Amino acid sequence: MSNLLVQNIKHTNGTTAQTIDTSGRTTVSIMNNDSTFRSDGGAVTQNLVQGLCKHWVNFNGEGTIAISDSFNSASLVDNGTGDYATNLTNNMSNSNYGFGLATIGNDSDLWGIASENRSTSQIEITTKYHANGNSGVLVADRSAMSSTIHGDLA
């Protein structure tokens, strides 16, 4: 069996395309937006860039709001009770992206989260709930909030 021992794989123009560190991990400097990977079973391929989460944020929405951890989130805005917005560091290409929103609670109320206003640079997050015995929809701050966005970056 033969071994090829390298540290960098370079293009003929001299730019480094891949680096292999001392533990054998490969680092790819640039991943093209048409890069694909084969499924676990090998039957299909998937566009790697399209499948990645482009933004996520986890934050405390009660009292003084604060981001606990995030990716591609520049800042958090408190628009009032149960109404937040997160500004993206890198814009989306349009506002037709997919998103998911969540909150955690131990109460018996039925909670929902909505995003009525979203743009290429910001997503608004509103917490709403229907309390037991109350016929109307209410809004409230929540301590454990999170959001994700999937779509195309600009």
**C-alpha distances in Å from residue 84, one per residue of 7, 50, 64:** 47, 27, 12
Sketch the domain layout of the chain as residue ranges: 8-47, 55-150
Put simply, whether the predicted model's pTM sits higher than 0.75 gets the answer no
CA angle in degrees (0–180, nearest 5) for 39-43-47 = 45
pLDDT tens digits for range 29-60: 666 777 777 778 888 887 777 778 999 999 99
* pLDDT tops 80 at residue 131: no
